[in-house]
Amino acid sequence: GENVEQHPSTLSVQEGDSAVIKCTYSDSASNYFPWYKQELGKGPQLIIDIRSNVGEKKDQRIAVTLNKTAKHFSLHITETQPEDSAVYFCAASPLSGGYNKLIFGAGTRLAVHP
Amino acid sequence: NAGVTQTPKFQVLKTGQSMTLQCAQDMNHNSMYWYRQDPGMGLRLIYYSASEGTTDKGEVPNGYNVSRLNKREFSLRLESAAPSQTSVYFCASSDGTARTHEQYFGPGTRLTVT
C-alpha cells in the first residue's frame, strides 16, 4: 500500500522568511496530493492540492510542486506570518471515482516567530 | 451550516467498555470517513463510506465497527475499548463526485481508555 514520509517534523522560522515542507510517496498509482493545515484544537483544513498531471500550483503565498518521477512533492510558504503557525500534513491518494482514501504523512509543526 | 459535527468532544472509558462516536454533516456529501490521530503518526483512516449504504475498511479497522445510518450520519463504534485506542478521532466528509475531492473535517473527539 501507499506510504507517505514527511520532513521535517518541526520547523521554526522568522516572520517574513520562507518555509518548505517535503513529502515522498511510494505508490506510483497515487495521483492526488493535498496539503492540510491543522490549528490547535481543530480538525485539519485543506489549503492547497495538486493532481499528477500538474507540476506546480500556486495560491497567493503558498505553492505546491510535484515531481512524479522522483515521487516527491513539496509545500512552499513565502512571507510567513505568525498565523501560519500550525501543523501541516501532506497526503497522497489514488483517486477512485469521486471519493479518495487519503494516506497522510506524520505532520510538520511550523512555528513562525515575530 | 454547521459543516461536520462530532459528539462527544471528550470521553474517558475503562478497558472493555463500549461506546459510539457520532458524526453528522449538513453539506449533502456522499462520502464520509473516520480517522484517528496519534502523535507522530499523522491521521490514519479507520473506515470510510463512499456512498450511503456502503462501508469499507481503511488502514486500521481492527477493533472498530461503523454504521452509515443515512446520508448525513456516520457512526464509529468501539465494542470493547483498549488502551491502544486512546487517540483523537476525526470524522470527515467529501462531495464524493469527481468535481472536488476536498475532505471537510469535524472538530474531533478526544478519547482516553484507562
Q: Considering CB atoms only, which of B40, B51, B103 is closest to A102?
A: B103
Q: Cβ–Cβ of B101/A97 closer than 8 Å?
A: no
Q: Cβ–Cβ of B40/A106 closer than 8 Å?
A: yes
User: Min CA distance, B87 vs chain A (Å)?
Assistant: 13
Give the pLDDT confidence score for residue B9 in this predicted structure: 96
Q: Cβ–Cβ of B45/A101 closer than 8 Å?
A: yes
User: Min CA distance, B52 vs chain A (Å)?
Assistant: 12
Q: How far is CA A52 from CA A70, B6, B34, in A?
A: 12, 33, 26
Half-sphere exposure of A52 (CA within 13 A, CB side): 17
The rounded percent of chain A whose pLDDT value lies above 70 is 96
Cα(B45)–Cα(A101) distance, integer angstroms: 8
Cα(B114)–Cα(A18) distance, integer angstroms: 43
| B19-25 and B74-78 beta bridge pairing | antiparallel
Q: Cβ–Cβ of B45/A102 closer than 8 Å?
A: yes
Joined together, the cell numbers standing for residue A77 give 510558504
Joined together, the cell numbers standing for residue A5 give 514520509
Q: How far is CA B98 from CA A72, A97, A100, A108, B102, in A?
A: 24, 6, 10, 29, 10
Give the pLDDT confidence score for residue B2 in this predicted structure: 84
User: Min CA distance, A39 vs chain B (Å)?
Assistant: 11
Give the pLDDT confidence score for residue A99 in this predicted structure: 67
Instruction: Evaluate the omega torsion of the peptide bond into residue A8 and state whether it is cis, within 30 degrees of 0.
Output: yes
The radius of gyration of chain B's CA atoms, rounded to the nearest angstrom, is 13
Exposed / middle / buried, residue A50 (Cβ in 10 Å: 0-12, 13-18, 19+): buried
Give the pLDDT confidence score for residue A42 in this predicted structure: 94
B-contacting residues in A 55-84 (Cβ below 8 Å): none
Instruction: Evaluate the omega torsion of the peptide bond into residue A114 and state whether it is cis, within 30 degrees of 0.
Output: no
The answer for residues whose C-beta is within 8 angstroms of residue A86's C-beta and 6 or more apart is A37, A38, A39, A40, A109, A110
Q: For residue range A42-83, what is the model confidence (pLDDT) as tens digits?
A: 999 999 999 888 899 999 999 999 999 999 999 999 999 999
Query: Which of A42, A87, A93, A99 to mutate: most B Cβ within 10 Å?
Result: A99
pLDDT digit string (tens) for chain B, length 114 residues:
789 999 999 999 999 999 999 999 999 999 999 999 998 888 999 999 988 999 999 999 999 999 998 999 999 999 999 999 999 999 999 987 767 789 999 999 999 999
Give the pLDDT confidence score for residue A96 in this predicted structure: 66
